[in-house]
Amino acid sequence: MLDLLKERILISGGSGFLGRALAEHLRGLGCKNLFTPTSSDCNLLERAQVARMFNTWQPSIVIHTAARVGGIGANRANPGLFFYENTLMGLNLIEEARLYGKLTKFVGLGTVCSYPKHAKVPFREDELFDGYPEETNAPYGFAKRAQLVMLQSYRQQYGFNGIFLLPVNLYGPGDNFDPASSHVIPAMIRKFDEAARTGAKGVTLWGDGRPTREFLYVQDAARGIALATAQYEKPEPVNLGSGMEISMFDLAVTLAKLTGFTGEIIWDKSMPNGQPRRRLDTSRAKAEFGFSAQTSFEEGLAKSLAWWQAQRANTSRSGTVPAAC
């Protein structure tokens, strides 16, 4: 078991949604040697810059949270970009970490989008490669699968200590609420909140409301990553989730009530549903490093809405959009 307080931990994507939550959690544990370079400090798409990053910060642990991400709309609009940039970031970081030669552990972060479209529910890690991912986000999912294959092959050939975690859909304060690229929870929160404030008669959502999703509060995800970083040493991937499952219809009804929206919820069935169901088998994380989610979905949604409303209020006063949005 690693003592994280004695390690030099570098978080790629440390200024992003998950990276910020993880850095906050590690600082709360007492980690002092923590590095969160931004894209202006190091462009992960440029291998020479990645090499300089290792030599500059001299980390003993790298946690790779950086990614080009977005909701269904962003994935449909940018499949090539999402595949290229996510693949290249993983390639550069893992290879330069190997050449650097001083790393105790590399922690790769995957995605639930890597699972086959019609995977048996709950999704088990051993079935990750049993089919093609859901088409709207398959390029992103394959880019993350490639990172797992690279870590496992580097462990086999070079003795490289890399682990791989598969978080389910994350949400929480600090999420991306940009309508062009946000995931489903922040997108719905913003739509229902704005509709409630303006007295709109209806809110239109994609699909037919039948698909289900599992969600994990971002602070819970950060705690799970920290536990795995300290305790997990095996090549097999590990799911990180809450074990809950909710339909898009029920999620919409819940958020409409939470925001005070009383109008009509309209489902645009001409738009894609995405994967039919998502729920992870989280037993491996519990058995290997004692992780289980602690934040109830109701509490997490309320905190997410409160954060968004505070940002919106600040935007109204200043006339500028907060960077986190």
**Catalytic residue IDs:** 140
Taking the C-alpha atoms of residue 19 and residue 4, their distance in angstroms, rounded to an integer, is: 16
Torsion of CA 93, 38, 186, 144, to 10 degrees: -10
Tokens representing 152 are: 């496992």
Contacts within 8 Å (CB) and 24+ apart, 71-75: 71/181, 71/182, 71/183, 71/184, 71/187, 72/136, 72/137, 72/206, 72/272, 72/274, 73/180, 73/181, 74/180, 74/181, 75/136, 75/137, 75/139, 75/140
Calculate the dihedral angle through the C-alpha atoms of 223, 229, 235, 237, rounding to the nearest 10 degrees: 10
3-state secondary structure at position 64: strand
Q: Return d(Cα 254, Cα 137) in angstroms, integer.
A: 26
DSSP string, 157-218: HH---EEEEEE-EEE-TT----TTT--HHHHHHHHHHHHHHHT-SEEEEES-S--EE-EEEH
Judge whether 205 and 252 are in contact, CB under 8 Å.
yes
For residue 247, what is the enclosing H or E element? strand 246-247
Of 266, 264, 265, 260, residue with least CA distance to 194: 260
Closest CA to 23 of 136, 14, 217: 14
Query: Which residues, other chains included, contact 284 with Cβ-Cβ below 8 Å and sequence gap of 6+?
Result: 125, 236, 238, 239
